[in-house]
Amino acid sequence: MSVGGPHVPVLIDAILQNCAPIQGVWLDGTFGAGGYARAFLDAGASRVIAVDRDPLAFEMAESWAHTYKDRLIMKPGFFSDMDKFGKNLDGVVLDLGVSSMQLDLAERGFSFMRDGPLDMRMSQKGPSAADLVNAVEEKDLAGLLYHYGEERASRRIARAIVAARPITTTFQLVRVIEKCLPRSKPGQSHPATRSFQAIRIAVNNEYGELYQGLMAAERALTLGGKLAIVTFHSVEDRMVKRFLTERSGRAAKANRYAPEIFSSPAQFEVKIRKAIVADETELEVNPRSRSAKLRVAMRTDAPAGDIDPKSIGMPYIKGLM
């Protein structure tokens, strides 16, 4: 396997600044190419527990991980289980975007720009994207494309996918989608962007992982521990925002003019209400950061609890595999 250029960690300077001072034990729940883990170790963390469901992440780290000796602890697994990997953590960081190392490998089937088997499995286990698009009923497939990918032509695309079955490669799926939508103009995203996003999210249960991961972070963080989450599309950001709103003791307002209602106990303190986005300097260096949003919160001493996934806007589609 050959992977493209080095992965640039998105919004890393903003994360380090808003989580300062960096110290103690941190957990990087989306290790990927190791950009965040290395940055936290270099900034002063005593240890970083690196978690990733993709075996390739740890294969790639073999060439440099030894330089940090026992300060870097690599744990294959899911960040939704982070409280099993570490307790009383001083910080947790999650980058919810798909890794460039996954997009760069045609054989992984993540990218609509490279022809390969329609796979998209981050863990390289379980049902693939091909299994999903060839088995899910048309109405459920349309719901998936609409709610997970915010694709307005979801019904049209779902109908075309069902008619074209079996679909086994990325370019087969791209051609089906392209026939359903007008050609994109300069500066617009590729017509297959939203559909590929939706299918990838479903294959990897990304919304379920995020919901469970938020709960796990609440259990794992110590008093004063920082939670930093980078999202790349509106559904993820909405889930994180609503979670932090509820867990910081602020009830959702009926409208922006209504008075803010506080409840107790609050498991997190949110100092910066508005999401942090990349500045022009970072956008020039790392175009991937254009859609990124960072939210940071600090753990209080209130006991961890449960939360209804519907209350934080987690989409749920019946009929998925």
Encode pLDDT of 7-20 as tens digits: 679 999 999 999 99
Q: Give the CATH number of the domain where residue 57 resides.
A: 3.40.50.150
pLDDT digits (tens, 9 = 90+) for 151-197: 999 999 999 999 999 999 999 999 999 999 998 877 788 999 999 99
Domain count, the chain: 2
| Distance of alpha carbon 50 from alpha carbon 250, whole angstroms | 32
Burial label, 58 (beta-carbon count in 10 A; 0-12, 13-18, 19+): middle
Q: Look at residue 94 and tell me if it is in a domain.
A: yes
pLDDT digits (tens, 9 = 90+) for 290-302: 999 999 999 999 9
Asked whether 41 and 17 are in contact (CB, 8 A), the reply is: no
Asked whether 61 and 74 are in contact (CB, 8 A), the reply is: yes
pLDDT of residue 7: 61
| Distance of alpha carbon 36 from alpha carbon 268, whole angstroms | 22
| Distance of alpha carbon 16 from alpha carbon 166, whole angstroms | 47
Residue where one domain finishes, among candidates 171, 203, 235: 203
Q: Give the CATH number of the domain where residue 199 resides.
A: 1.10.150.170
Query: Which comes out higher in pLDDT, residue 70 or 98?
Result: 70
Mean pLDDT of 276-299: 93
Mean pLDDT taken over the chain: 91
Residue where one domain finishes, among candidates 176, 203, 230: 203
Shortest CA distance to 55 belongs to which of 75, 79, 69, 41?
A: 75
| Distance of alpha carbon 203 from alpha carbon 244, whole angstroms | 26
| Distance of alpha carbon 199 from alpha carbon 206, whole angstroms | 10
- Sign (positive or negative) of CA dihedral 130, 131, 137, 139: negative
Residue 258 has pLDDT above 80, yes or no: no
pLDDT of residue 251: 63
Are 133 and 222 in the same domain? no
Residue where one domain finishes, among candidates 187, 203, 219: 203
Q: Look at residue 320 and tell me if it is in a domain.
A: no
Give the structural domain span for 158: 124-203
